Amino acid sequence: MSDDSDVGSRGAPSSVARSWFVLVRPTHWAKNLFVLAPLLFSGRAAESAAVVAAALAFVAFCMAASAVYCFNDVLDLSADRAHPVKRRRPVASGTVKPVHAMLAAALLSLVAAGFAAAVNARTLAWLGVYVGLNVLYSVWLKRIVLLDVFAIASFFVIRLLVGSAAVQVHPSARAQPKPSTKWRSTSAS
């Protein structure tokens, strides 16, 4: 699904800087605010080390998300060129060459990994899961009914897990389903 923030308003983006801005989609970074939720809900928002860790994880996630957008736009090049709106995206319109978009994806991934590694190994691992699942999504999962929806939903859960890893808290046990007594076996002994 696309919105007008993904494409130029009058055809191809008018400048190189605008093309790159559209390609990396910083307007979509708002989704990455989920990374900060564990900081806010853990009671650690007054701790400077936790704030710095969460901020670094947020930046890492933004870089990783932008890398995924670059990668996906190259994979979807043919389909995007045939689409009435997506054809104006930088790679599809030819204002950014596919090889440059892939190089940007690699560079952004490395930068993201650097920021995540600066936080801790768990943050880096969850960020790796996010990138890996996005590659699977771009290559295969988005073409399979229901798996595409599950993958998209999992991206939001992974954002929370990255934030939890960054501030070194565990997701709440209250959010995990617990067996109900009415579903337990009531057989007589």
Q: What is the DSSP secondary-structure string of 64-96? A: HHHHHHHHHHHHTHHHHHHSTTGGGSHHHHTSS
Residue of 80, 68, 104, 105 whose CA lies nearest to 1: 80
Inter-residue contact 162 to 61 (CB < 8 Å):
yes
pLDDT for residue 71: 98
Helix 48-75 and helix 16-24, axial crossing angle in degrees, nearest 10: 110
Rounded to an integer, what distance in angstroms lies between the CA atom of residue 168 and that of residue 139? 32
pLDDT for residue 184: 44
pLDDT for residue 148: 95
Inter-residue contact 20 to 36 (CB < 8 Å):
no
Q: Report the amino acid identity of residue 115.
A: F
Run means of pLDDT, 10 residues per run, the chain, 189 residues: 45 74 96 97 96 98 98 97 96 97 98 98 98 97 95 96 96 54 45
